[in-house]
Amino acid sequence: MSGAEILVQVLADEGVGTVFGYSGGAILPTYDAVFRYNAEHGEGGDEPMPLVVPANEQGAGFMAAGYARAKGRVGVVIVTSGPGATNCVTPVRDCMADSVPIVVICGQVPTGSIGTDAFQEAPVTAIMGAVAKHVLLVTDPEQLESTVRTAFEIARTGRPGPVVLDVPKDVQNWEGAFRGEGRLAIPGYRHRLDIIDSQALGEDRCQEFFSMLAKSERPLIYAGGGVINGNASEAMRALSEAFGVPVVTTLMGLGCMDTMSPLAMHMLGMHGTAYANYAVDDCDLLIAMGARFDDRVAGVPARFASKARRVLHFDIDPSEINKVKKTDWHYVGRLREALESLVAYGSRTGFSGNFAEWHTEIAELKSTYALNYDRESPLVQPHYVLETMNRLTRGEAIVSTGVGQHQMWAAQYCDFRDPRLWLTSGSMGTMGFGLPAAIGAQFACPDKLVIDVDGDGSMRMNLGELETVTTYDLPIKVMVLNNYGDGMVMQWQRLFFKGRLAGSDKSLRKKDFVKTAEADGFPYAKRLDRKEDVPRVLEEFLGFDGPAFLEVIIDPAAGVYPMVGPGLSYQDMITGDFIPNRYDAKEPEDPDASEMF
């Protein structure tokens, strides 16, 4: 087989069902091999490995990320050398920051030309090495098969992440034997995995955990994206429900706990619900699971969960333990198995915590400090739009977003009954993520309702992918909340920079999004600008059989609240005009130069 054929066969052996990418000279042999593989193995016109072509390689990377997040499998990108590879830098970094497993296969100039500044050459290993979990350059064609398998192994094991595979054109054209087995020798990495895999919560450690839980009156689980990545959502729910421990989740952890459960406190953090943040302030035992105490959650680590007598931490990555917040007890290993051991131990020993008062307190917090907004305004409030959408979808749709105010409103006002329904760029905060991620998710879950909740700024970033939706006749619902500017940046500028809207109120108002969607083939494309039309139009939009686009003209002054300013604690959280504030916190002073956006 040729190197390209070997590469494609390994993809098939790894169970790859969809590939995203854009062609070019240095990757042509592999594209041809994908074409021939589909022709030889397809039946009735169906392709076993469809190759989805985006408008831009960045779009391909985010499609693979959306596929991986929604399906829980490794996403695959195949692009050409030079600009094809460099256009993938942002999605690779995004996947690294959010622990998402993808494999990016880049064509490269022939081996003998590497380092000569050949046409469309880029130093992929140097560029990607700084942002990927691992980068592999294949210079020995005999190692190609093992290298591709190893790339998948590294991407999905341990703490998941992106792996980049750089394959010179002559390696793709080389011919040799296909062995059907073999991986590279990576003893150090596998040794670390073996240590993690060998960990187990024995009787003594389970007893320690429940001893601390028994001494608690206000325990709280703080769950992050690691719960979803570790396929531990069911086990975490079982622990929470069996022993009555409420749960707050990070932005990346939404869906690991059914947000409609009485024990769910929804999202905590900078734009988390007020009641979730107050629950963190009140808890006396904090149990962190697959979360890393990042700056969006624990802006002032010393004041985060300051009443907690003990902090417990579960993670698969030992580097996260004590990195930000000192813990009193920790476990490094596979989360699902650990939680299953705890549930079994607690059930076997008949553990029963007395948390009735705490349950009453959290119910009161949820009632008193519920999300709210200006319901009397004649203008269309984005909160109302998403609240209405949520009533129609009942927490069962896949929702992807760009980054900004619309992202936070969607996180606040949407329910998620299950994991892998919420797709957003968390740590990197990459505008333009929403639309391509929705495309990837729809390929991963063709029977699911997929909605991209976007902003006018984020939509412009990868606008070309509207045509990708209609080219593949995907029934994605694209909703743009248009406030004619970068809303989140403007909100910060109003709060911290005396209202100077530098570069955020761009007045880029020539764009007719509806005409753009129509030009790209959307059979349903409408604008919504009247409050009284919201329920009717949303029902029509979400129920449309096929690709649908809706532009909603929202109140340009609408803000995201609650909000915890940079470098501040939950005691300083501002809740706006429509949510009560327990501490009577006022708008924060101007931040100094050391504080983060």
Catalytic residues: 57, 119-120, 169, 488
d(CA 448, CA 451): 10
Kindly compute the dihedral angle of the four CA atoms of residues 535, 536, 540, 542, in this order, to the nearest 10 degrees: 0
d(CA 282, CA 220): 9
Mapped onto helix, strand or coil, the DSSP state of residue 531 is helix
Alpha-carbon radius of gyration of the chain: 25
CB 67 within 8 A of CB 75: yes
Rounded alpha-carbon distances, angstroms, from residue 487 to 234, 260, 408, 496, 497: 36, 29, 11, 14, 14
Beta bridge pairs of residue 331: 314
Nearest one of 515, 509, 550, 558 to 533, comparing CA atoms: 550
d(CA 138, CA 207): 49
Question: Judging by beta carbons within 10 Å of its beta carbon (0-12, 13-18, 19+), is residue 217 exposed, middle or buried?
Answer: middle
Angle formed by the axes of helices 405-413 and 382-393, nearest 10° = 40
CB 79 within 8 A of CB 60: yes
Beta bridge pairs of residue 219: 285
Q: In what order do the strands lie in the sheet with 264-267?
A: 264-267, 247-249, 219-223, 285-289, 310-315, 329-332
Rounded alpha-carbon distances, angstroms, from residue 342 to 205, 286, 310, 336: 9, 16, 18, 10
d(CA 469, CA 86): 24
CA–centroid distance for 500 within its chain: 32
Q: Residue 565 CB: number of other CB atoms within 10 A?
A: 21
Look up residue 44 and give its two tokens.
Answer: 């009735």
d(CA 410, CA 451): 11
Nearest one of 10, 31, 20, 4 to 53, comparing CA atoms: 20
